[in-house]
Amino acid sequence: MEGIKRLRYGLKLLGILIGLSGGVLAQGSLNTAKIEELTGLKGTLDAKSGVFKVSYPRKDLYVYEMAQDATGYRVHITPPMGLTAWAAFTKPGEHAVMMGDMVLREDQVNPVMSTALDNGLEVTALHNHFFWDNPKVMFMHIGGMGDESQLASAVGKVIKKIKETPPVVYEKHPVVEIDPAQTSLDPQKIETILGSKGQLANGVYKITWEMTTKMEGHEMGAAMGVNTWAAFIGSDQTAVVDGDFAMYENQLQDVLKALRHAHINIVAIHNHMTEETPRVIFLHYWGVDSTENLARGLKAALNTQK
């Protein structure tokens, strides 16, 4: 921990120097091939923000949500709906910064957490995204600052530990009423209400909105996980939306009210990071309704942030 504190002090000093020099100190470049090699994962580079993100879709999990409310729908949850582990790397100066989100079964949480901690990473949050999911899935946020090879190697060991745990043997896949494989919704209706465009892939229509905060004086945005997103599946008449709402602390109550007025369920409220400024709160939500009603509810919540 003392090493991390010294490193953070160094990053703060670096941020001051950048400010005094008018930005003369340029952002460092990442060795993306080395990061892929050490993590064992393929990634993509966001050239605009200088962020390289590797991903691990949990295709080994067959997860469904058994609705316990008036809807009664069973929904098949796929990696594009939030079951993808990832780690994002950036290099604002001499040192690299990594932030990530690991998708874990309950039995994987503590072994994976130990692996992360034992290899120099910080665990910054542990929480759920869903209710009544089977198997129960937890999400563990990790972070670190320092040498990019050491960070990537630690992430690689975390991923290896996930893959080492025995797979779940399912007795029988349940019959689900809402499945991305049968998605027929019209994205245009959603886009018209939200005023934003998304992408339809693998039966999931997903839209993302960026937010920003700072860590040690360096800006962190959507590519590092500071974003709001919504994923729609189903038909125009009966659709599911799930996602993650990012907001500053003083925006939380208004966002909650807007979502609940639209009968969208609040699943979790929590942090993803520590020591960021301004403080960002993340809220996971889940709703079943027509695409238009769901989109109007999200729009009302987004409008509270302006």
Range of weakest confidence among 1-5, 152-156, 251-255: 1-5
* DSSP state letters, the chain: -HHHHHHHHHHHHHHHHHHHTTS-SPPPPP-HHHHHHHHT--EEEETTTTEEEEEEE-TT--EEEE--STT--EEEE-GGGT-EEEEEEE-SSSSEEEEEEEEEEGGGHHHHHHHHHHTTPEEEEEEES-SSEES-EEEEEEEEEE-HHHHHHHHHHHHHHHHHSPPP--S-PPP-SB-GGG----HHHHHHHHS---EEETTEEEEEEE--EEETTEEE-GGGT-EEEEEEEE-SSSEEEEEEEEEEGGGHHHHHHHHHHTTPEEEEEE-S-SS-BS-EEEEEEEEEE-HHHHHHHHHHHHHTT-
Q: Considering only residues 129 and 152, tell me which one the structure prediction assigns the higher pLDDT.
A: 152
The per-residue pLDDT for 206 is 96
Q: Considering only residues 94 and 91, tell me which one the structure prediction assigns the higher pLDDT.
A: 91
- Tell me what percent of the residues of the chain surpass a pLDDT of 90: 56
The per-residue pLDDT for 222 is 79
Range of weakest confidence among 81-90, 189-198, 245-254, 267-276: 267-276
Q: Kindly state the average pLDDT of the residues 4-33.
A: 50
Binned at pLDDT 50, 70 and 90, residue 74 comes out as: confident
User: Which domains can be identified in the chain, with CATH numbers?
Assistant: 28-164 (3.30.70), 180-303 (3.30.70)
Binned at pLDDT 50, 70 and 90, residue 97 comes out as: very high
- Does this model's pTM top 0.75? no
Q: What would the pLDDT profile of 41-60 be if each residue is shown by its tens digit?
A: 999 999 888 999 999 999 98
